[in-house]
Structure 1
Amino acid sequence: MVKIYLGPAGVPHSSKKKNTIDGIRTVKELGLNAMEVEFVQGVRMSRETAEEAGKVAKELGVRLSVHAPYFINLCSEEKDKIEASKQRILDTADRAELMGADAIAIHIAFYGKMSPKECYQNVKEGLAEVIDKAKEMGIKNVKFGVETMAKETAFGTLDEVISISKELKGVIPYIDWAHTFARQGGEIDYGKIIDRLIKELGLTHINSHFESLVSRKGKYVDEHIPIDANAPPFEPLAKELLKRDISISLICESPELERDALKMKEVLERLGYRLE
């Protein structure tokens, strides 16, 4: 039977105080059960606050994940940028471990002047080094999620993220359904993707983002909009999930955050699923 964790990417708009701990409490009050903590502009949370956030989330039954900073590129031509990227991933993983989060989402690299094959090798080597260092730091539970990306200049096709997850222990695909839809030319077969993750990687839990994207000149671009746009549609994903024995985090990355997360909840309820 499916188990669904649903919530916003970041502190809900309706939260009176715009901090992570109050955000977690608001998520619970809204009847949602997940939240992604956003470090997209940098890891500015103290280790003490991370521990406190973890305690509150555990008490309330809210599943946490974390988004790493955007300023990461393991295929940069500049060595210092690669080293800074590794440090940002480690800082994110450290706080995630302290707050009991299960995974971090990483925009891992841009191809730049490298071929996709060369970039893949760089990502693999850089991430392997990060994972070794994380172990030394006592990070045991956090999975390193390589996110599927919409831009053709970015590392993050579905095949790439599945392949690197097979090669590196502790690495998982962080599926952004809309990014994958865009990367595949505005087409997506949810069931096929879920089955690949289960069969090829043995995943029992999928970490994912959901939102809609803008279409320009017949092409979907990485600009997030409310899910009413149906680009991609949510209901077919909900139906595929309900057919399977899988656990999933659905993090709403729409600009409408909790409004759209609650719309997703309504769809699930209409199909007979109740969030716990």
Structure 2
Amino acid sequence: MPKIYLGPAGVPHSSKKRNTIDGIRTVKELGLNAMEVEFVQGVRMSPESAEEAGKVAKELGVRLSVHAPYFINLCSEEREKVEASKKRLLDAADRAERMGADTIAIHIAFYGKKSPEECYQIVKSELGATVDTARSMGIKNVKFGVETMAKDSAFGTLDEVISISKEIKGVVPYIDWAHTFARQGGKIDYGEIIDRLIKELGLSHINSHFESLVYRNGKYVDEHLPIDNNSPPFEPLAREILKRDISITLICESPELERDALKMKKILEDLGYKF
């Protein structure tokens, strides 16, 4: 039987107070069991607050992950931007470690003027150095999750994130199902992706995002919609998960946060899963 962790990207809309600890408590009250802590606009949480959030999450059985700041580009032409990106990654990793989060979701790079192959080698070098620095700082447990990206200009095809995870210890894919669906021209084979992650990387846990995307000018673009839009559909993913004995986190990145997470929960329960 799979083990499924399901929850919102950030503090639920229904949380009375807009802070991480109350968000974790609300997640538990809603009957969900995961939350991604959003540092997308910067790491504005003290080390002490991260430790406190971790204690509450552990007590309540809520699995945490973290989203690193958006302002990261390891393939920037400007050296100071690369260094600033690495600093943001280390700050996110430090807080993630303190709160007992297992993985950071990272929008790692844009190709810019470089070819995808050139960018790949740069990401490999810079991210490898960042992971080494994190370990030397005592950040032992957090994994660096390279997210699959929707835009053709971004580092983050499924092949790229699997390949980089093979090359750097402590790096894993962070699968955004909708981004991958968009990147593959509106097609996705969930079962094939899950099987690749297990077979090629031997993952004991899969971290992922789920939402629907806007369709505009003949293609899917990275603007998030509620999951009822079925772009891509959730139920086929639920079915593929339930066919396998895997551990997976599903973070709902729909604008409807917990409402859609609860819809995802109901779909899984209707298919026979017990949370």
Q: Which amino acid aligns with 2:44?
A: R
Aligned-pair distance for 1:109?
Answer: 0.1
Residue number in structure 1 paired with 2:43:
43
- Alignment partner of 2:74: what SS? coil
- Alignment partner of 2:222: what SS? strand
Q: Does 1:223 align with 2:223?
A: yes
Alpha-carbon deviations, 1:141-177, whole Å to 9, x = none? Answer: 1000000000000000000000000000000000000
Distance 1:218 1:26 in 2: 39
Residue number in structure 1 paired with 2:241:
241
Residue number in structure 2 paired with 1:154:
154
| Matched residue count | 275
Alpha-carbon deviations, 1:47-74, whole Å to 9, x = none? Answer: 0000000000000000000000000000
Aligned-pair distance for 1:40?
Answer: 0.1
Q: CA RMSD in A?
A: 0.3
- Alignment partner of 1:97: what SS? helix
Aligned-pair distance for 1:113?
Answer: 0.1
Q: Which amino acid aligns with 2:194?
A: I
Q: Which amino acid aligns with 1:228?
A: D
Aligned-pair distance for 1:274?
Answer: 1.4
- Alignment partner of 1:76: what SS? coil
The answer for unaligned runs of 5 or more in structure 2 is none
Residue number in structure 1 paired with 2:175:
175
Residue number in structure 2 paired with 1:94:
94
Q: Which amino acid aligns with 1:174?
A: Y
Aligned-pair distance for 1:117?
Answer: 0.3
Aligned-pair distance for 1:204?
Answer: 1.3
Q: Does 1:188 align with 2:153?
A: no
- Alignment partner of 1:42: what SS? coil
Q: Does 1:203 align with 2:203?
A: yes
Distance 1:246 1:47 in 2: 32
Aligned-pair distance for 1:217?
Answer: 1.8
TM-score, structure 2 as length reference: 1.00
Distance 1:112 1:245 in 2: 40
Distance 1:197 1:145 in 2: 13
Q: Does 1:53 align with 2:56?
A: no
TM-score, structure 1 as length reference: 0.99
Q: Does 1:109 align with 2:71?
A: no
The answer for unaligned runs of 5 or more in structure 1 is none
Alpha-carbon deviations, 1:248-267, whole Å to 9, x = none? Answer: 00000000000000000000
